[in-house]
Amino acid sequence: MEYTSDPEPYNPLWCADFLAVGELRRTPPLRLKIVTRYILKEHVGPLVFSLSALTSLLLLNYVAKRLGELVGKGLPARVIVEFLLLSVPFTVAMTLPMAVLVSTLHAFSRMASENEITAFKASGISLRRLVVPVIVSASILTLVMVWFNDQVLPAANHRLSTLSNDIARKKPTFALREQIINEVVPNRLYLRTAHLTRVGSSMKDVTIFDLADPQRRRTVRADSGLLALSTDGRDLLLTLFSGNVIELTATEPTRLQRNFFTKDYVRVRGIGNSLERDSVGGEKSDREMTVCELQRKVHHAAFVRDSAFTSLKKLDSALYRTIPQRAVTRGIGDAYCDLQYWWTDLRLVKSASAASVPLTASEAAQGRSVVVQVPAPPPQAPVQAPVQAPVQAPAQVEHPIIPPSAGIMTSDSALSVAQRSVLGESVRISIAQAQGMIDGNQVEIEKKFAIAAACVIFVLLGAPIALRFPRGGVGLTIGVSLGVFGLYYVGLIAGEDLARRGMLSAFWAMWTANIVLFVIGAFLTARLGREGTTSRGSETSEWWNRLLDRLRGRERSA
- Would the pLDDT of 32 be above 90? no
Radius of gyration of the chain (CA): 38
C-alpha dihedral (467, 472, 474, 478), degrees to nearest 10? -80
- Would the pLDDT of 226 be above 60? yes
8 falls in which pLDDT band (50, 70, 90)?
A: very low
Pairing of strands 182-185, 189-197: antiparallel
* Residue of higher predicted confidence among 169 and 478: 478
- Tell me the HSE value of 550 on the side-chain side, using a 13 A CA sphere: 6
Task: Give me the mean pLDDT over the 79-92 stretch.
Answer: 91
482-531: pLDDT as tens digits:
889 889 989 999 999 999 888 888 999 999 999 999 999 999 998 887 65
Task: Give me the mean pLDDT over the 257-267 stretch.
Answer: 91
Q: How far apart are CA 122 and CA 15, in angstroms?
A: 6
- Would the pLDDT of 169 be above 50? yes
- Strand, coil or helix: what is 47? helix
Question: What pLDDT does 346 receive?
Answer: 82
Least confidently predicted of 184-193, 234-243, 244-253, 383-392: 383-392
* 47 domain residue, yes or no: no
Question: pTM here?
Answer: 0.68
Q: How far apart are CA 298 and CA 533, in angstroms?
A: 53
C-alpha dihedral (93, 98, 101, 104), degrees to nearest 10? -80
Task: Give me the mean pLDDT over the 104-122 stretch.
Answer: 89
* Residue of higher predicted confidence among 347 and 207: 207
Residue 511's identity, in one-letter code, is W
Question: What pLDDT does 541 receive?
Answer: 59
Question: What pLDDT does 174 receive?
Answer: 58
Question: What pLDDT does 443 receive?
Answer: 93
Range of the domain at 264: 182-268
* 474 domain residue, yes or no: no
Least confidently predicted of 168-172, 300-304, 361-365: 361-365
* 503 domain residue, yes or no: no
* 422 domain residue, yes or no: no
236 falls in which pLDDT band (50, 70, 90)?
A: confident
Question: What pLDDT does 253 receive?
Answer: 79
Task: Give me the mean pLDDT over the 30-59 stretch.
Answer: 89
Task: Give me the mean pLDDT over the 363-373 stretch.
Answer: 43
* 548 domain residue, yes or no: no
120 falls in which pLDDT band (50, 70, 90)?
A: confident
The one-character DSSP state at 279 is S
Least confidently predicted of 79-83, 109-113, 323-327, 350-354: 350-354
* 239 domain residue, yes or no: yes
207 falls in which pLDDT band (50, 70, 90)?
A: very high
Task: Give me the mean pLDDT over the 343-360 stretch.
Answer: 71
Question: What pLDDT does 284 receive?
Answer: 86
Question: What pLDDT does 337 receive?
Answer: 92
Question: What pLDDT does 200 receive?
Answer: 57
User: Do residues 412 and 475 touch, judged by C-beta distance below 8 A?
Assistant: no
235 falls in which pLDDT band (50, 70, 90)?
A: confident
* 237 domain residue, yes or no: yes
Task: Give me the mean pLDDT over the 102-109 stretch.
Answer: 92
49 falls in which pLDDT band (50, 70, 90)?
A: very high
Question: What pLDDT does 13 receive?
Answer: 42
Pairing of strands 256-268, 182-185: unpaired
Least confidently predicted of 33-37, 313-317, 533-537: 533-537
* Residue of higher predicted confidence among 305 and 419: 305
Task: Give me the mean pLDDT over the 317-322 stretch.
Answer: 82
* 196 domain residue, yes or no: yes
270-315: pLDDT as tens digits:
665 566 666 666 678 888 999 999 999 999 999 999 898 888 888 8
Domain count of the fold of the chain: 1
Question: What pLDDT does 21 receive?
Answer: 36
Neighbours of 83 (CB within 10 A): 19
- Would the pLDDT of 138 be above 90? yes
Nearest to 300 by CA among 179, 438, 402, 181: 438
Task: Give me the mean pLDDT over the 58-86 stretch.
Answer: 83
Nearest to 145 by CA among 93, 84, 70: 93
User: Do residues 158 and 284 touch, judged by C-beta distance below 8 A?
Assistant: yes
Least confidently predicted of 33-47, 264-278, 533-547: 533-547
Question: What pLDDT does 199 receive?
Answer: 58
Question: What pLDDT does 87 receive?
Answer: 92
Q: For 65-77, b where at least 16 C-beta lie within 10 A, e where not — what string?
A: eeeeeeeebbbee
Neighbours of 464 (CB within 10 A): 25
**Per-residue DSSP letters for 194-252?**
EEEETTTTEEEEEEEEE-SSTTEEEEEEEEEEEEEE-TTS-SEEEEEEEEEEEEEESS-
* Residue of higher predicted confidence among 259 and 26: 259
